[in-house]
Amino acid sequence: MTITKEHLLKVYQDMVLIRRFEEVVEKYSKNGTIPGFIHLSIGQEAAQAGVIDTLKETDYKFPDHRGHGAIVLSSRPEDRKTIMAEIFGKKTGINGGRGGSMHINDLKVRNMGFNGIQGSTVVTSLGTAFASFYNHTDDVTVVFMGDGTLGEGTCHESMNMAATWKLPLIYVLINNQYAISTKYTESHPQEYLADWAKGYLVPSETIDGNDIEVVIESTQKAIERARKGEGPTLIEMMTYRWQGHFSGDPAAYRPQGELESWKEKCPIKQTKSKLMNIYGISELDLDLIQRKTEDEVEGYLQFSLASPWPSTDDATSWVYSDISVEGRK
Amino acid sequence: MTITKEHLLKVYQDMVLIRRFEEVVEKYSKNGTIPGFIHLSIGQEAAQAGVIDTLKETDYKFPDHRGHGAIVLSSRPEDRKTIMAEIFGKKTGINGGRGGSMHINDLKVRNMGFNGIQGSTVVTSLGTAFASFYNHTDDVTVVFMGDGTLGEGTCHESMNMAATWKLPLIYVLINNQYAISTKYTESHPQEYLADWAKGYLVPSETIDGNDIEVVIESTQKAIERARKGEGPTLIEMMTYRWQGHFSGDPAAYRPQGELESWKEKCPIKQTKSKLMNIYGISELDLDLIQRKTEDEVEGYLQFSLASPWPSTDDATSWVYSDISVEGRK
Amino acid sequence: MNRTITFAKAINEAIHQEMDRDEKVFIIGEDVAKMGGDFGITSGIWKKWPHRAFDTALSESAIIGLSCGAALCGLRPVAELMFADFIGVCYDQIVNNAAKLCYMFEGKASAQIVVRAVTGGGIRCAYHHSQCIEPWLMNIPGLVVVAPATPYEAKGLLVSAIRSNNPVIFLEHKGLYNKKGDVPEELYDLPLYESKVVRKGNDITLVAAMSMVDFALRAAEDLSKEGVSCEIINPLTLFPLDKETIINSVAKTGRLVIIQEGPKFMGYAAEIGSMVYEDIFEYLKAPMKRVTSLDTPMPFSPGLEDYVMPQYADVKKACSEVMSF
Amino acid sequence: MNRTITFAKAINEAIHQEMDRDEKVFIIGEDVAKMGGDFGITSGIWKKWPHRAFDTALSESAIIGLSCGAALCGLRPVAELMFADFIGVCYDQIVNNAAKLCYMFEGKASAQIVVRAVTGGGIRCAYHHSQCIEPWLMNIPGLVVVAPATPYEAKGLLVSAIRSNNPVIFLEHKGLYNKKGDVPEELYDLPLYESKVVRKGNDITLVAAMSMVDFALRAAEDLSKEGVSCEIINPLTLFPLDKETIINSVAKTGRLVIIQEGPKFMGYAAEIGSMVYEDIFEYLKAPMKRVTSLDTPMPFSPGLEDYVMPQYADVKKACSEVMSF
Ligand SMILES: Cc1ncc(C[n+]2csc(CCOP(=O)(O)OP(=O)(O)O)c2C)c(N)n1
Ligand SMILES: Cc1ncc(C[n+]2csc(CCOP(=O)(O)OP(=O)(O)O)c2C)c(N)n1
Ligand SMILES: [Mg+2]
Ligand SMILES: [Mg+2]
């Protein structure tokens, strides 16, 4: 497959947006403005942008804990500043500042949110896929999961059920080499984690997760299968997180030179050179995209910084759908 | 492989013992003398007898809920009556009547007991296998599990870890076609459940679980691999339970004729005809075994019936290893 | 029209009638479809709605996870856990997923699921098939725990549970399945979050749920002969608890006896006692008494199991102690 | 020799010294070996004993299951759960396996494991990384739940936990890791199942554990200026609880205030309150008060999290209420 120049340019912009978004989040996390733990996806932009690019708004999306990119790209442009505000814990956040970086959902675009317990969304996503089947709609479900997350028992229960019932569910296994400090080869017996799916007779492949064309092509195939009622697919996308596990982790467990060699394979850089060398787009044009994106994200940042904190009443609302919970007296 | 005449005769006796034991348990369960639920293994004797036959006393054994056969054969002959007494809930039971049919353990022979939560022993058994590895002994661990039990997430976590660390663990997957009312093909995507292990690059095979020679041969191979440090194996043993899920279940979910066709494949009948036709053992000799076994089991029964009930103090002992728990005042 | 039917049948009828009314309702679980459930509670449903009844693998986390996801899409899953003890293998899905989704989605969606689970002791099934798991769930904001004692309550409360947008753990005590009672044939619902005053009285407040209500009724009868008048309260929704009804009753009687199956330590009797001690201390006339199971795993042998379960004699003893204090 | 070290270091030292003493002890968990733990608590162990420190996959059920099985073989696993909230995914292994093995094996073997888990709120990690899971475990006979408040207690209690033949859930409050205190360099142990009287007093009994002990100390200090004398009790072993020390104290003071992180409803403060109400009613002078978290999931935004957590102002208020009753 080759995608069109316009298409490649569009996903290039998407990746630049993720990168910039994460850079800003990183800065304000490191300087203490953003509370809590932040898991950055710098280096993994192609996997996120490529997958989201192939989905329609009514497809169900389950981002993972390193999912800012997928979340931002799933959202409507006018909502993006509220995603950053959420990460800052502000009242204007898309979830009222109540969830923060790890818990951002947006029903409008069927971003179904993340659950801080690894492997949890892997079974929740069965339910949205099931709903498509129950309601006879053609919406597919995509769940993002990490190489480490594959250790959880829920992965088995999910894959077993999805395969048996041929649910329209796509497992996007982002293999960024590590679960915190543990290399995937130390915690799994397979050389290619995609092989795991074979035990369930589920089609799977291991792809270069830094090549956005490959990501798009592979995801499209999986989505087609799912929409035709042929069941789940697992795609292992090989990539790398440039930062530590969370923003601030020195990542001392990485062998020397590993990061640098992966930086060579930067998905944005790769696409940029394709755009320039194959499609003849000028560096100037690409710089313009960069600058526009920076301005855009600067807007999110200013919005977030200027936004108010939630009021304490917000802590006790919606524990239940119908009855209220006492606050402090 | 062919096993010797003496060996085949020995395991024939083993199977006859299981069958008789279960028949007596069934009778006293149906007439209300044995409390609680009973899961009978009639029809599955070859799988139990063949596996236990290949193990030494210091190998770790995790029977399943349908495990009377494996439990009795693992035990020392002098203890067998206490196993039946346990099922009757008597003070003389091997666990003081406290566990009953589903919870019989015997540390002397490394019968590590069953846990009523399906899939639980599948991870506990990692620990005994790990202990062999940690202590550098050559004891292997065998865990029995059903086709239904394979649905539990623990199976994945166990297989993943055992395969990664090459633990000496053998998964004996007794495929008796059903989990309660659910046919294995309705809850799993594979035609051969053994294929599941391939996802972990773990050797596996599907065998005729009613042919005790095949069971022994396959188990021996797996044990050899395990003792050599080559890691886990999964063996799917195809068989059938003649009774319903629990004693009393009418098993209305079974298609007409299915039970009858499996009765044709009765493991005891098969072995009997081999002993007679290939090894020239007389029907009289085999009848003698049958009668001796009946007497033997009658002894267990009388012991069980005559035994006293536990005293109420037994309810509160050993909740903790060191401190006591209050009884009624 | 009222008829006398069993507790089991009442549950079955509630599901039938709600499925009739709302096509978003479906059932899912191990052996719930073709077989109609391990205890036969869902019988007839698969036959009527073959595409709305789902037998699953032994995958409780997937059952609850799927239910949560489907609920977020607007469906109304009624999942069966078979034995409540199995909640351990899907506990995360209940406490960290179902319980928190409404909060996480700010009420725009929620885990509008029902998890039916068979609870309690008495049938000689030992450690893993006899537990009272109520307390494992009652410290988890977002969950609802419902525990009927009669067929009438079972039907009406299950209907409300299915219609609720909250995740409801619906506890069915195995000792009650064959219990009979009057139940209207028509569809009706009963309010969640409301305790029931089962019997009015002035001297002692007896709190009891599920099969313990029978103990309370028996004790009230026995004590009335001695001139002691018991008020019996069945919380029905154990969590979130209707505090007021209990508080009002104890404010009147000044005496509290709680009969609770399950280990004493950290059982829900503890919360009820503390609630009263904290809120209406000035009305209390005597120490509270708890009649509970012993703090042990559940043994198999009948005599042992009976010994571990709450004793009627202890109910009587507790009542005379609080009266003579 | 006494030195001042952190709570984190005290835990690290306990494991080191016990591993030195007993080769049956090993550590297992996610990132506990090469990295030395997500919070750095097990650092240096893998370097010293590369064959006794095991990094695992994200498989908490397997971690606990393996630990139980290894314990039955006589080993002494010290497992790390990272965040205590993750107990949900291995809850069955804890409550239905670890907790019951001693009973099932009639004391001939048991789940002699330690499960270290980081508990509590305060670091803006929202729903699934901030919970107080103590109550989820305290209704399960067979389990031991230990919760130190100082580096000294952490070291001594962890040593005892490792040596215990019972399954011990060892709770490490994330807010305490950097707390410093005097700790002997030598190996020592502290008794399980014994509450500690942190401060003697006559007017109010304050019960507090883990990071709440600081609130209690501060309140006692403040109140002493007003002539009110507080006795502070830290249970240390939350379950099974040393009832006597608390009962004796409240029998003396007649007044009880419990400071507990985590939702109020069915928190362990409920059990402590009921215990007192049941056993020493005649000594009580005022209603018990509970100062707790709100009954909500834990929100992320700092102001929200702070609001949900127990408030010092409420401790003061509770104390004056019980004094002026
Ligand atoms: C059940 C559970 N166990 C452990 C954790 C802690 N944890 C959070 S992320 C993570 C590593 C996940 O690795 P992977 O799935 O590869 O994703 P990555 O961080 O590499 O993107 C761990 C262990 C958790 N959140 N939930
Ligand atoms: C976690 C859990 N879920 C469900 C059950 C109830 N249950 C007991 S046995 C069984 C079927 C098991 O089927 P299989 O593993 O095939 O064994 P079989 O009974 O056929 O021997 C079920 C569902 C259980 N005990 N534990
Ligand atoms: Mg990873
Ligand atoms: Mg089966």
Range C255-268 average pLDDT: 98
Buried/exposed D11-39: b ≥16 CB within 10 Å, e otherwise:
bbbbbbbbbeeeebbbbbbbbbbbbbbbb
Distance A180 CA to ligand 1 centre (A): 7
With a pLDDT cut of 70, the percent of chain A lying above it is 100
Ligand nearest to the CA of D86: 1
Range A71-88 average pLDDT: 98
CATH fold of the domain at C2-184: Rossmann fold (3.40.50)
Cβ contact (<8 Å) for A315 and D55?
A: no
Distance B146 CA to ligand 4 centre (A): 5
Which residues are CB-neighbours of C227 under 8 A, at least 6 positions away? Answer: none
The CATH label, of 3.40.50.920, 3.40.50.150, 3.40.50.2300, 3.90.1570.10, for the domain at C196-323 is 3.40.50.920
How far apart (Å, rounded) are the C-alpha atoms in residues A179 and A119? 13
| Residues of A with Cβ-Cβ distance to B155 under 8 angstroms | 153, 156
Please report which confidence band the pLDDT of residue A1 belongs to, taking 50, 70 and 90 as the band edges: low
Predicted pLDDT at A248: 87
Q: How do strand D180-184 and strand D2-6 relate by DSSP bridges?
A: antiparallel
Cβ contact (<8 Å) for D92 and C96?
A: no
List the single best residue of B117, B173, B193 to mutate versus C (max C Cβ within 10 A).
B117
Q: What is the mean pLDDT of chain D?
A: 98
Predicted pLDDT at A215: 98
Q: What angle, 0 to 180 degrees and rounded to 10, lies between the N-to-C axes of helices A5-30 and A212-227?
A: 110
Cβ contact (<8 Å) for B113 and D73?
A: no
**Total CB pairs under 8 A between chain C and D:** 163
Contact of A187 with chain D, judged by CB distance below 8 Å, is answered with: yes
Q: Is D30 in the pocket of ligand 1 (CB under 6 A)?
A: yes
| Residues of C with Cβ-Cβ distance to A106 under 8 angstroms | none
Predicted pLDDT at B1: 58
| Residues of B with Cβ-Cβ distance to D78 under 8 angstroms | none
Q: Does residue A321 sit within a domain?
A: no
> In chain B, how many domains are there?
1
Q: Is B84 a residue whose pLDDT tops 80?
A: yes
Atom of ligand 1 nearest to the CA of D89: 1
The whole domain housing A25 covers 5-307
Q: Does residue B262 sit within a domain?
A: yes
Cβ contact (<8 Å) for C274 and D279?
A: no
- For residue A148, give the nearest of D58, D89, D302 by CB distance: D58
Do residues C252 and C202 touch, judged by C-beta distance below 8 A? Answer: yes
Q: Does residue A317 sit within a domain?
A: no
Catalytic site includes residue C173: no
Distance from CA of C210 to the nearest CA of A (A): 24
Contact of A166 with chain C, judged by CB distance below 8 Å, is answered with: no
Cβ contact (<8 Å) for A97 and D300?
A: yes
Cβ contact (<8 Å) for D68 and B129?
A: no
Distance from CA of C120 to the nearest CA of A (A): 27
Distance B104 CA to ligand 3 centre (A): 42
Q: Does residue A98 sit within a domain?
A: yes
Q: Is D285 a residue whose pLDDT tops 80?
A: yes
Please report which confidence band the pLDDT of residue C132 belongs to, taking 50, 70 and 90 as the band edges: very high
Which residue lies with its CA nearest to atom 15 of ligand 1?
A146
Predicted pLDDT at B329: 85
pLDDT in tens, B195-245: 999 999 999 999 999 999 999 999 999 999 999 999 999 999 999 999 999
| Residues of A with Cβ-Cβ distance to C70 under 8 angstroms | 127-128, 130-131, 134
pTM score above 0.80: yes
Atom of ligand 2 nearest to the CA of C86: 1
Which residue lies with its CA nearest to atom 7 of ligand 2?
B118
Predicted pLDDT at A179: 98
Task: Tell me the one-letter amino acid at A67.
Answer: G
Q: Does residue A175 sit within a domain?
A: yes
Range B105-133 average pLDDT: 98
Predicted pLDDT at C1: 57
Cβ contact (<8 Å) for D89 and A149?
A: no
- Helix ranges (DSSP H) in chain C: 7-21, 45-48, 60-72, 91-92, 99-104, 134-137, 151-163, 212-225, 243-253, 268-279, 302-308, 312-324
Predicted pLDDT at C267: 98
Distance from CA of A300 to the nearest CA of B (A): 41
Distance from CA of D215 to the nearest CA of B (A): 32
Q: What is the mean pLDDT of chain B?
A: 97
Predicted pLDDT at C2: 67
Do residues A174 and A144 touch, judged by C-beta distance below 8 A? Answer: yes
**Total CB pairs under 8 A between chain A and C:** 127
Range D159-176 average pLDDT: 98
Which residue lies with its CA nearest to atom 19 of ligand 2?
B179
Cβ contact (<8 Å) for D301 and A309?
A: yes
Distance C120 CA to ligand 4 centre (A): 26
Q: Does residue A324 sit within a domain?
A: no
| Residues of C with Cβ-Cβ distance to A60 under 8 angstroms | 73
Range A304-316 average pLDDT: 97
Which has more confidence, C139 or D2? Answer: C139
Residues near ligand 2 (Cβ within 6 A): B 65-66, 116-119, 146-149, 176, 178-180, 245; C 30, 58, 60, 82, 86, 89
Q: Is A2 a residue whose pLDDT tops 80?
A: no
Q: Does residue A312 sit within a domain?
A: no
Predicted pLDDT at B248: 87
Distance B253 CA to ligand 4 centre (A): 13
pLDDT in tens, B158-191: 999 999 999 999 999 999 999 999 999 999 999 9
Q: Does residue B221 sit within a domain?
A: yes
Q: Is C109 a residue whose pLDDT tops 90?
A: yes
ipTM of this model?
A: 0.98
Q: Where in chain C is the domain with CATH 3.40.50.970?
A: 2-184
> Mind giving me the DSSP string for C29-87?
ETT-SSS--TTSTTTTHHHH-TTSEEE--S-HHHHHHHHHHHHHTT-EEEEEEEEGGGG
Predicted pLDDT at B2: 75
- Which CATH number belongs to the domain containing residue A201 in this structure? 3.40.50.970
Predicted pLDDT at C52: 98
Q: Where in chain D is the domain with CATH 3.40.50.920?
A: 196-323
Atom of ligand 2 nearest to the CA of B116: 25
Distance from CA of A258 to the nearest CA of B (A): 24
Q: Cβ–Cβ contacts within 10 Å for residue A132, how many?
A: 24
Distance B185 CA to ligand 4 centre (A): 11
| Residues of A with Cβ-Cβ distance to C104 under 8 angstroms | 95, 98-99, 103, 105, 113
Which residue lies with its CA nearest to atom 8 of ligand 2?
B118
Please report which confidence band the pLDDT of residue D288 belongs to, taking 50, 70 and 90 as the band edges: very high
Range A9-34 average pLDDT: 98
Contact of C241 with chain D, judged by CB distance below 8 Å, is answered with: yes
User: How far is C-alpha A21 from the geometric centre of its chain's CA atoms?
Assistant: 13
Predicted pLDDT at B48: 98
Range A164-181 average pLDDT: 98
> Chains that contact A by 3+ CB pairs under 8 Å?
B, C, D
Range C186-195 average pLDDT: 98
pLDDT in tens, B58-70: 999 999 999 999 9
- For residue A160, give the nearest of C57, C67, C165 by CB distance: C57
Distance A97 CA to ligand 3 centre (A): 27
Q: Catalytic amino acids of D? A: 129
List the single best residue of C274, C281, C285 to mutate versus D (max D Cβ within 10 A).
C274
Range A192-203 average pLDDT: 98
Q: Is A314 a residue whose pLDDT tops 80?
A: yes
- Of D28, D58, D80, the residue with max ligand 1 atoms within 8 A of its CB, to mutate for a pocket test, comes to D58
Q: Is A245 in the pocket of ligand 1 (CB under 6 A)?
A: yes
Ligand nearest to the CA of C86: 2
| Residues of A with Cβ-Cβ distance to B196 under 8 angstroms | 199-200
Q: Is A229 in the pocket of ligand 1 (CB under 6 A)?
A: no
Q: Is D64 a residue whose pLDDT tops 70?
A: yes
Say which residue the tokens 């893998």 belong to: D46
